[in-house]
Amino acid sequence: MIKALNLVVLSTLCALTTWAQTITWKKQEFELKNVTASVMKVNGEEVLKVERDLKVLPFDEKKLAATVDEPTYVKLKNVVLENGTIEVKMLSRIQDPSPFEAARGFIGLAFWISEKDTAYESIYLRPKNGRAEDQFMRNHTVQYYSYPHYKFDRLRRESAGLYETYVDIGLNEWITFRIEIEGEKARLYINDQKHPSFIVNKMKGSMTRGAIALWVDIGTIGYFKDLKVRAK
């Protein structure tokens, strides 16, 4: 449980304010896009903490589809990926109080990000759904979307069930999250499983290469560690 984790802000690194543009973690530089970020220690390990910045990008529950699934991430600078693998460990908790009552701990990756952040692909998790007693909620634990034209709501309307699935995950636990990208196909592997938990056979966006980022959304405190990027 996250409450048991010993969170200590590094003395040499403080939480970035909303005007800051970049942060350095593990000798890698990241650009902040509609988020705040800080480097912290969790049980002696240096991790990156990311939260959506509502001052920069407000959220409107009455306009849910228009104000979620947005570019809310820290983007790795000077790395462009076409085909290859992105792997990271992530842990999600819900803010208390949360600005969104239905927050699910939204956390994941964005990739093939355009230079101006106007288009990208993403796969993310809703960890709170993974242990829900309601099967309908469980079926929405993993989500793919393509920004800006194919957010979760449009994909549900037009391709119900095809771009979401269930995996056994929960809040407040480290999850190994690996995406393998090959052409228009993306495969998601959870917790080092031999076979993919989720497959997107044909991604919906126009990009075929671009930057990668660590992504969170409304009501989420996201922690990331052990980021690995391997081009193919």
18 located within any domain: no
Q: Assess if residue 175 is contained within a domain.
A: yes
Question: 195 in a domain, yes or no?
Answer: yes
Within-domain flag for 170: yes
Q: Quick check: is 194 in a domain?
A: yes
Residue 31 lies in a domain: no
- What are the φ and ψ backbone dihedral angles of 227, each rounded to 5 degrees? -75, 130
Domain extent for 164 = 63-231
CB atoms within 10 A of CB 155: 20
Q: What is the mean pLDDT of residues 118-145?
A: 97
Q: Is residue 52 part of a domain?
A: no
Q: pTM for this structure?
A: 0.91
Distance CA 164, CA 81 (A): 24
CATH number, domain of 221, equals: 2.60.120.560
**What's the pLDDT tens digit per position in 30-48?**
999 999 999 999 889 999 9
Q: Quote the pLDDT of residue 137.
A: 96
In a domain, 102, yes or no: yes
pLDDT of 9 reads 37
To the nearest whole percent, how much of the chain has pLDDT over 70?
91
Residue 218's pLDDT is 97
Q: What is the pLDDT of residue 30?
A: 98
Number of domains in the chain: 1
Res 95 pLDDT > 70: yes
